[in-house]
């Protein structure tokens, strides 16, 4: 519609270039943020982006020259029009080659960084197609439909003619692809390379059908199909091969539990559990460890110090009501079964064999149930524990930190039992913002609590909990 956004003296800002720039910057910052969350090298994202953009521009231009080869033969001066004419598939292929070369140079895992990059690519394409709409390129066929758009001053699309809004349809599809890829990468991914495969399949499928609505002729043809449709068939197959191959019988990542180890004089090391699959993974872990050393507190604390920290840092209040009494009874039962089985008359049942009959299985479960019921009846006098519940509610101060209006029903309970050195957490929340705040508090408390060398050697509960909490950092 209006490609010239603003002119200041001799400088004119065009909508197409502006949207391309917005897309690139959005893609870059998203990739950098996700790299930190995934434990990848976020410092490599700038170089990766530069290489991908540069190679993408070259690839897009080369494929444009190929598709307009006959016109260039007739008028070689077209080769000098550097600013005009790009083919998105060429840009994708070039961008892929740029990522591969950069990862090889920096000794990074290509598949990991492809999976990181493709949601950002989809996001950038969404903005880029808005730029196409402003410039009038990549326009659609003539139509009498109610959603038609009419250009009046475009240098590319026919002016005064109602056209299918292919640019906006493509933009919407790209933003949908972006959302699908982000959700899949976070919740359902089973192997490195799957997200990249899904991107190629989704984009090529959408592009194949969108080509039927395009009206610009300078796209080349291979038989009855446009050049883009021809490429889309192979890219679609390639994408699904990647998706299924890398998702079959593979895990998302090797174990990467993170914790701090300390003795009486403080911490001695920070470590990552699990074995690195290759040299590239090992280098990534080393860089991740360096970042972790900057955020994990330096000294494990006692439960008494944790209690003071809860009150002073997070304004926790001791909970004294029926709910806290129920929590104490539940913990007493659990501790009694683990530490004082001698107080029970019902012995612990022997482990079942795999060949156990259904009758033996039922008898086993019945004995477990009776043993649990007996443990519940043992009083505090018979089995005393040193128990407190500290409740943290997202009050105004916490809500400002989280950027949301907290509900009075939301709370985080820290259960502390000092006799047997237990620290447990339970929470109730009503929104994602509150959950993010509570996750931050839980991570903060366990980092402050730390673990000792004895915890590591014995694999105690607080060691395992801290390792799990820090795993996603």
DSSP for 400-436 reads: HHHTS---TT-EEEEEEETTTTEEEEEEE-SSHHHHH
Q: What backbone phi and psi angles, to 5 degrees, belong to 416?
A: -120, 125
User: Residue 372 falls within a domain, yes or no?
Assistant: yes
Helix 88-106 to helix 110-135 angle (10° resolution) is 150
- Binned at pLDDT 50, 70 and 90, residue 84 comes out as low
Q: Is residue 91 domain-shared with residue 238, that is, in the same domain?
A: yes
Least-confidence region, from 223-227, 260-264, 295-299: 260-264
- Contacts of 33 by beta carbon, 8 Å cutoff, 6+ apart: 42
Q: Is residue 241 domain-shared with residue 309, that is, in the same domain?
A: no
Whole-number CA gyration radius for the chain: 30
pLDDT digits (tens, 9 = 90+) for 302-351: 788 889 989 998 999 999 888 889 989 988 998 898 888 889 888 888 88
Among 202, 218, 247, identify where a domain stops: 247
Q: Identify whether the C-beta of residue 336 lies closer than 8 Å to the C-beta of residue 375.
A: yes
Residue 205 has pLDDT above 80, yes or no: yes
More confident call, 227 vs 284: 227
Q: Where are the beta strands (DSSP E) in 325-451?
A: 387-392, 411-417, 422-428
Q: Is residue 313 domain-shared with residue 424, that is, in the same domain?
A: yes
Q: Is residue 62 domain-shared with residue 129, that is, in the same domain?
A: yes
Q: Is residue 11 domain-shared with residue 146, that is, in the same domain?
A: yes
Q: What backbone phi and psi angles, to 5 degrees, belong to 338?
A: -85, -40
- pLDDT at residue 270 in the model: 47
HSE-up of residue 297 (Cα within 13 Å, Cβ side): 13
- pLDDT at residue 401 in the model: 46
- Binned at pLDDT 50, 70 and 90, residue 453 comes out as low
Q: Is residue 314 domain-shared with residue 176, that is, in the same domain?
A: no
Q: Identify whether the C-beta of residue 202 lies closer than 8 Å to the C-beta of residue 174.
A: no
Q: Is residue 368 domain-shared with residue 219, that is, in the same domain?
A: no
Residue 106 has pLDDT above 70, yes or no: yes
More confident call, 276 vs 211: 211
- pLDDT at residue 92 in the model: 83
- pLDDT at residue 426 in the model: 85
Q: Identify whether the C-beta of residue 162 lies closer than 8 Å to the C-beta of residue 150.
A: yes
Q: What is the mean pLDDT of residues 454-473?
A: 60
pLDDT digits (tens, 9 = 90+) for 396-451: 454 444 444 444 578 889 888 888 878 888 888 877 788 888 888 887 887 777 76
Q: What is the mean pLDDT of residues 446-468?
A: 65
Q: Identify whether the C-beta of residue 116 lies closer than 8 Å to the C-beta of residue 35.
A: yes
Q: Is residue 331 domain-shared with residue 203, that is, in the same domain?
A: no
- pLDDT at residue 186 in the model: 85
Residue 264 has pLDDT above 50, yes or no: no
User: Residue 376 falls within a domain, yes or no?
Assistant: yes
C-alpha to C-alpha distance for 235 and 96, rounded to whole angstroms? 13
Q: Is residue 34 domain-shared with residue 144, that is, in the same domain?
A: yes
User: Residue 400 falls within a domain, yes or no?
Assistant: yes
HSE-up of residue 105 (Cα within 13 Å, Cβ side): 10
User: Residue 282 falls within a domain, yes or no?
Assistant: no
User: Residue 256 falls within a domain, yes or no?
Assistant: no
User: Residue 275 falls within a domain, yes or no?
Assistant: no
More confident call, 89 vs 182: 182
User: Residue 445 falls within a domain, yes or no?
Assistant: yes
C-alpha to C-alpha distance for 311 and 414, rounded to whole angstroms? 11
User: Residue 276 falls within a domain, yes or no?
Assistant: no
- pLDDT at residue 1 in the model: 57
Token readout for 360 is: 């033996």
Q: What is the mean pLDDT of residues 160-168?
A: 91
Q: Is residue 225 domain-shared with residue 310, that is, in the same domain?
A: no
Residues of the chain with pLDDT > 90, as a percent, come to 23
What total of structural domains would you count in the chain?
2
Q: Is residue 158 domain-shared with residue 27, that is, in the same domain?
A: yes
Name the residue range of residue 186's domain.
4-247
More confident call, 464 vs 401: 464
Q: What is the mean pLDDT of residues 77-88?
A: 66
- pLDDT at residue 116 in the model: 92
Q: What is the mean pLDDT of residues 244-255?
A: 57
Beta-bridged to residue 260, according to DSSP, are: 270
Q: What is the mean pLDDT of residues 365-383?
A: 90
- pLDDT at residue 200 in the model: 92
Token readout for 341 is: 């089985």
- pLDDT at residue 464 in the model: 65
Residue 22 has pLDDT above 90, yes or no: yes
Long-range CB contact pairs, 32-39, < 8 A, 24+:
34/116, 34/119, 34/120, 35/116, 36/291, 37/472, 38/112, 38/116, 39/256, 39/284, 39/285, 39/288, 39/473
Residue 255 has pLDDT above 50, yes or no: no
- pLDDT at residue 407 in the model: 45
Please, where are the H alpha helices in 75-165?
Answer: 88-106, 110-135
Residue environment code for 115-134, b if the CB has 16+ CB neighbours within 10 A, otherwise e: bbbbbbbbbbbbbbbbbbbb
């Amino acid at each position: 519609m209006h490609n010239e956004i603003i002119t200041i003296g001799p400088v004119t800002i065009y909508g197409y270039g502006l949207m391309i720039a917005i897309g690139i910057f959005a893609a870059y910052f998203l990739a950098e943020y996700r790299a930190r969350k995934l434990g990848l090298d976020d410092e490599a994202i700038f170089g990766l982006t530069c290489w991908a953009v540069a190679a993408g521009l070259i690839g897009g231009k080369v494929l444009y020259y190929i598709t307009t080869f006959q016109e260039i033969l007739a008028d070689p001066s077209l080769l000098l029009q550097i600013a005009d004419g790009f083919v998105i598939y060429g840009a994708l292929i070039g961008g892929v080659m740029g990522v591969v070369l950069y990862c090889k140079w920096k000794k990074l895992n290509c598949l990991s960084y492809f999976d990181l990059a493709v949601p950002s690519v989809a996001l950038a394409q969404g903005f880029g197609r808005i730029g196409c709409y402003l410039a009038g390129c990549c326009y659609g066929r003539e139509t009498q439909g109610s959603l038609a758009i009419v250009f009046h001053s475009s240098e590319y699309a026919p002016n005064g003619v109602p056209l299918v809004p292919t640019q906006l349809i493509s933009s919407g599809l790209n933003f949908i692809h972006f959302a699908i890829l982000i959700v899949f990468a976070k919740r359902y991914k089973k192997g490195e390379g799957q997200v990249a495969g899904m991107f190629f399949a989704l984009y090529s499928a959408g592009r194949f059908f969108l080509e039927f609505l395009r009206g610009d002729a300078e796209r080349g043809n291979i038989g009855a199909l446009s050049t883009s449709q021809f490429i889309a068939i192979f890219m679609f197959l390639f994408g699904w091969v990647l998706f299924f191959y890398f998702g079959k019988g593979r895990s998302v990542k090797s174990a990467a539990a993170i914790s701090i180890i300390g003795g009486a004089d403080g911490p001695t090391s920070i470590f990552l559990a699990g074995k690195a699959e290759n040299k590239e993974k090992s280098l990534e872990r080393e860089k991740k460890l360096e970042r972790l050393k900057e955020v994990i507190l330096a000294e494990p604390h006692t439960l008494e110090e944790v209690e003071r920290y809860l009150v002073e840092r997070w304004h926790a209040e001791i909970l004294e009501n029926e709910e806290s009494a129920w929590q104490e009874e539940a913990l007493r039962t659990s501790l009694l079964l683990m530490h004082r089985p001698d107080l029970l008359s019902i012995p612990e049942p022997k482990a079942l064999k795999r060949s156990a009959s259904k009758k033996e299985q039922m008898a086993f479960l019945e004995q477990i149930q009776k043993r649990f019921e007996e443990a519940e009846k043992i009083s505090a006098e018979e089995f005393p524990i040193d128990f407190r519940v500290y409740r943290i509610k997202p009050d105004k101060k916490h809500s400002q930190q989280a950027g949301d209006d907290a509900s009075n029903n939301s709370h985080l309970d820290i259960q502390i039992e000092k006799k047997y050195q237990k620290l447990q957490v339970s929470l109730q929340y009503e929104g994602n913002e509150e959950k993010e705040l509570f996750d931050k508090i839980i991570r903060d408390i366990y980092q402050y609590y730390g673990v000792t060398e004895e915890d590591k050697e014995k694999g105690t509960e607080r060691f395992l909990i801290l390792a799990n909490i820090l795993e996603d950092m």
